[in-house]
Amino acid sequence: MFTNIDVSMQNKLKIINDPVHGFIKIPHEILFDIIEHPYFQRLRRIGQTGLLNLIFPGATHTRFHHALGAMHLMFTALETLKQKGVKISEEEEKGAMLAILMHDIGHGPFSHALESMLMDDWHHENLSLLLMNKLNEEFDGQLSIAIEMFQGKYHRKFFNQLISSQLDVDRLDYLKRDSFFTGVSEGNINTQRIISMMNVCEEGELVIDAKGIYSIENFLTARMFMYWQVYYHKTSALAEFLLVKILERAKYLISQGTELPATDNLKYFLYREKSAATDEDIERFTSLDDNDVIQAMKEWQNADDFVLSYWCKCVIQRNLPKTIISSHPFGQEIIDEKIKNTNEFFKIDNGKELVHEIKRKLLPYHAEKQPIYLLHKNGKRTRLHESEDQLLSGLIVNKTTRYILMFPRDISGLDS
How do residues 357-380 score in pLDDT, each as one tens digit? 999 999 988 888 889 999 999 889
Residue 276 shares a structural domain with residue 359: no
pLDDT digit string (tens) for 131-142?
999 999 999 999
Q: Is the domain of 283 the same as that of 329?
A: no
Instruction: Say whether both 159 and 242 belong to one domain.
Output: no
Q: Is residue 204 predicted with pLDDT exceeding 70? A: yes
Do 345 and 332 lie in one domain? The reply is yes
Is 409 found in the same domain as 334? Answer: yes
Under DSSP, the state recorded for 194 is H
Domain co-membership, 240 together with 190: no
E strand or H helix at 270, and its extent? helix 264-271
393 and 304 share a domain?
Answer: no
Looking at the structure, tell me whether residues 243 and 182 fall in a common domain.
Answer: no
46 plus 87 within the same structural domain: yes
> Is 163 inside any structural domain?
yes
- Whole-structure pTM value: 0.92
Q: Show the beta-strand stretches assigned E in 289-399.
A: 322-326, 356-362, 373-375, 381-383
Q: Is residue 10 part of a domain?
A: no
| Total of domains in the chain | 3
| Closest C-alpha to 159, from 112, 244, 95, 113 | 95
Half-sphere exposure of 147 (CA within 13 A, CB side): 17
What are the pLDDT digits (tens) for 150-172?
A: 999 999 999 999 999 999 999 99
Q: 199 and 316: one domain?
A: no
Among 233-237, 307-311, 369-373, 407-411, which range has the highest average pLDDT? 307-311
Closest CA to 96 of 34, 145, 153, 36: 145
CATH (domain of 192):
1.10.3210.10
Query: Which residues span the domain enclosing 330?
Result: 321-363+400-415
Residue 201 burial (C-beta neighbours within 10 Å; 0-12, 13-18, 19+): middle
Residues 325 and 386 reside in one and the same domain: no
